[in-house]
Chains A and B, each alone.
Chain A
Amino acid sequence: GQQLNQSPQSMFIQEGEDVSMNCTSSSIFNTWLWYKQDPGEGPVLLIALYKAGELTSNGRLTAQFGITRKDSFLNISASIPSDVGIYFCAGQLGSWGKLQFGAGTQVVVTP
């Protein structure tokens, strides 16, 4: 069953605001990945984290791999309309090939 808890489920924010979402797990993960899915398309990788404590940025996005290896967060600063979409966390559980996704955070940005 699903072992990743992603929150919040959805967010309605105004353009220019910062966004924060997180994922927690009951199991230790070796890798945390963050993806974004635009409507009608497949997810696209935003940030990959491979080491506990790692903090990585990609433009206005920042993600961190929690020290306990059981959580990760993603921040989006100064949101813009094209930030709209569903954001997923994902982590490796078990063998290298098994990748588990969170349920997603739907982000809606209003002007």
Chain B
Amino acid sequence: EAQVTQNPRYLITVTGKKLTVTCSQNMNHEYMSWYRQDPGLGLRQIYYSMNVEVTDKGDVPEGYKVSRKEKRNFPLILESPSPNQTSLYFCASSLSPPTLAGRNSPLHFGNGTRLTVT
């Protein structure tokens, strides 16, 4: 089944303890992206990747790192989490950037990771 898989679904951690949220897709998609969802703010893009070894900042990259060593995986790393990073995180992928006309390349989202930093 074609899907985007995030792990873990729920995570509670303490300030400063490094963590990684994994994201994997099995659709051979080139484009992958991370978002955080907060009440009243919608989804805000953290980082995106157009292809292997190509990553770029989104609107809210501070405090996060990503890597794209292989096409299928796009982990999100919080080196020193802080309480303001408590949020619902979504990974997404598409065959090509979702805004390119004529590509019919919808963004597929994972089911989310709810992170609480105390």
Measuring CB to CB, which residues of chain A are less than 8 angstroms from any residue of chain B? 1-2, 4, 6, 9, 30-31, 33, 35, 40-45, 48, 50-51, 88, 90-92, 95-104
Contacts and interface: CB of A to CB of B under 8 A. Distances in A.
Nearest to B98: A99
Interface string B44-62: 1100111000001011000
7 contacts: A6-B42, A31-B99, A31-B100, A35-B107, A40-B112, A97-B97, A103-B42
Contacts, number: 84
The 8 closest A-B pairs by CB, nearest first: A42-B109, A92-B99, A50-B101, A31-B99, A45-B106, A96-B97, A101-B43, A103-B42
Given A45-B106, A100-B59, 9 more contacts: A4-B42, A31-B99, A31-B100, A45-B98, A96-B100, A97-B56, A98-B56, A100-B45, A103-B42
